[in-house]
Amino acid sequence: MKIRLPSLLLALAIAAVSAAHAAKPNIILIAADDLGYADIGVHGCKEFATPNIDSLAKNGLRFAAGYATSAVCAPSRAGFLSGRYQDHFGFQGNPKHGASDWGLPLDERTIADRLKTAGYKTAAFGKWHLGEKPEQHPMSRGFDEYFGFLAGMHDYFKAEDPNWGAIMRGREKAELKEYLTFAIAKEACGFIERQKDAPFFIYLAFNAPHTPSQAPEDYLKKAAHIADKQRQTYAAMVMALDDSIGRVLKTLREKGLEENTLIFFLSDNGGPLIKGSAPNGSRNDPLRGGKLQMWEGGIRVPFMIQWKGHLPAGKTIAEPVISLDIQPTACAAAGVETKPEWKLDGLNLLPLLEGKAEHLARTDLFWKFGNDQFAIRGGDWKLVKVHADKGLFNLPKDISETTDRTAEQGKLAEDLKARWDVWETKNPTVNLKVAAEKKGKEQ
C-alpha cells in the first residue's frame, strides 16, 4: 500500500489531537440550590429516595465534611466558580434582581474561562445569580452556551416570571415547555449529545429545591405519604431533581462517556430553616442551623465527586474539603497548569482521592458573613460566631455543635481567632452588597 507523506502526516496529526482529547476528561459541575444536608439517601434520608445522587457517592467519593464558602447562594457560587474566597473581593450577600449593577467582579476569572482557554467547549444551564448586565452574563464569563435565568430564583412553570425575569437562551428570551428542573437537564443532555471532538465543561446549576415550592403533580403524588405540605412539595422537587440528574448520567452512559467524565455534585449552601432564608421544608440534621448561618447546617453540604475508572468507588472522605477545591482539581484532571497569579484558594484533591496523599496540605478553612458572623475550621476544631452566639467545637466528636469547649481550650480558641484575623486582613472592608444595591427584591 502506498501512502503519500502529507496524508500520513495529516493522519498522525488527527490521531494526536484525538489522543489529546481522550486524555482530557469532560467535566460537569452539578449544583443543587438550598438542598438540606439530611435530604439525600446516602446521608440517611428515608422519607424519599435519591438513587441518582446516591449513585455518585457509590460510584465515586462522598465528602462527609464538604463545605461551601458561604451560607447563601450568590457568594457561594462566586466562590466555587472563581476558585477564590469571595470575601477577598467583597462579595457578601445576594445581588438584587433587576436593580443592582454588580455581580462577580469582571477582573475575576471563572473555571469556565480556564477550561475554555484549554480547548473545552463550555456551557452553563440553570441559575446564574452573578450579575445581570451584558458583561456579567455567563457568555461573557467563559461559557459558550447558556440556558437558564439570571436572577436568584425563578418560577418552575412560567418562562416569564413577573418577579424574577425571563428564561433565557443565550442572551434572548426563551420558551419554557416543561418543569424547569427537567428543562435544565434536557439542555444539558442535548449539549452532551452535540459534542463530538472537544472535551466539554458543563455548569449544571439546578435551582431546585430552592423556593418557590412548586413540583409536578406526579411527583407530589410520589410524596403523598409526607404529611407536612411544604415538606411534601420539597420531597417532590428533590425527587424531580434526582431524576433529572439521572437523565444526564444516562446520556453520558449512552454516549460511552461515563468513564471519561469527571462529575462534581454539591449544594450551594445548607437547607434554609430560619425566617428570611426562604425556608423550603429541608432538613440539615444532625447539623446545627441552616442557610444564612455559619453553623455547620449553613455551610456543610451534600458534596461528592465521581470519575469512574479513575477514582475509587464508594469511599467516604472525612478530611474537610471546600468548594474552592473544585477548580484546582478540575484543572489537574484536565492537565491545565494552575498559575500563582490566579490566586486560587483551593487545592487539587486528586492525590488525596487516589490514596496517594494521606492528608491535604492545608491547615484552616475560613468563612465570614456580614459583620457579626465568622467561622474557622482548623483540623477537628471550629471556632464560630453567629450573631450573639459563639463557641469552640470539636466537630468529629460534636457534629451538632452543642458543647462549647472555649473554657477548657482557651488558648486554642485564641489561636484560631488570631488565624482568622490574619485571613480577614486579605478581605476588603467595602461590602459590595451594601455599596451597590439600590432597590429590588432579595432572595
Of 168-176, 183-191, 264-272, 404-412, the window that binds Ca ion (rule: CB under 5 A) is 264-272
* Coil, strand or helix at 72: coil
Smaller CB separation from Ca ion, 73 or 395: 73
The residue with its CB nearest to Ca ion is 73
Smaller CB separation from Ca ion, 270 or 391: 270
Q: Is 129 a catalytic residue?
A: yes
Distance CA 170, CA 58 (A): 35
268 binds Ca ion (CB under 5 A): yes
Size of the residue set binding Ca ion (CB under 5 A): 5
Q: Which of 45, 73, 189, 331 is catalytic?
A: 73
Distance (Å) of CA 187 to CA 20, 108, 123, 273, 403? 26, 27, 10, 31, 47
Smaller CB separation from Ca ion, 33 or 437: 33
DSSP state of 260: G
Do 103 and 97 contact (CB within 8 A), yes or no? no
108 binds Ca ion (CB under 5 A): no
CA dihedral of residues 237, 239, 241, 242 (deg, nearest 10): 170
What cell numbers appear for 365 in the block? 478553612
| Residue whose C-alpha cell reads 415547555 in the numeric block | 177
269 binds Ca ion (CB under 5 A): yes
Of 34-42, 116-124, 313-321, 338-346, the window that binds Ca ion (rule: CB under 5 A) is 34-42
Considering only residues 71-90, where is the footprint of Ca ion by CB under 5 A? 73
Q: What count of other Cβ atoms lies within 10 Å of the Cβ of residue 174?
A: 17
Smaller CB separation from Ca ion, 424 or 442: 442
Least Å distance, CB 269 to Ca ion, is: 5
Smaller CB separation from Ca ion, 73 or 384: 73
Least Å distance, CB 71 to Ca ion, is: 9
Least Å distance, CB 32 to Ca ion, is: 8
**Which residue from 24, 27, 30, 34 is in contact with Ca ion, where contact means CB under 5 A?**
34
CA dihedral of residues 172, 436, 158, 180 (deg, nearest 10): 80
Distance CA 198, CA 4 (A): 28
DSSP state of 441: B
| Residue whose C-alpha cell reads 420558551 in the numeric block | 175
Q: Which of 97, 129, 137, 154 is catalytic?
A: 129
Smaller CB separation from Ca ion, 33 or 108: 33
Q: Is 73 a catalytic residue?
A: yes
Angle at Cα 407 formed by Cα 401 and Cα 413, nearest 5°? 70
Considering only residues 315-374, where is the footprint of Ca ion by CB under 5 A? none
39 binds Ca ion (CB under 5 A): no
Of 69-77, 133-141, 247-255, 422-430, the window that binds Ca ion (rule: CB under 5 A) is 69-77
Distance CA 342, CA 338 (A): 7
DSSP state of 178: S
Looking at the annotation, which residues are catalytic?
Answer: 73, 129
Q: By the criterion CB under 5 A, which residues form the site for Ca ion? A: 33-34, 73, 268-269
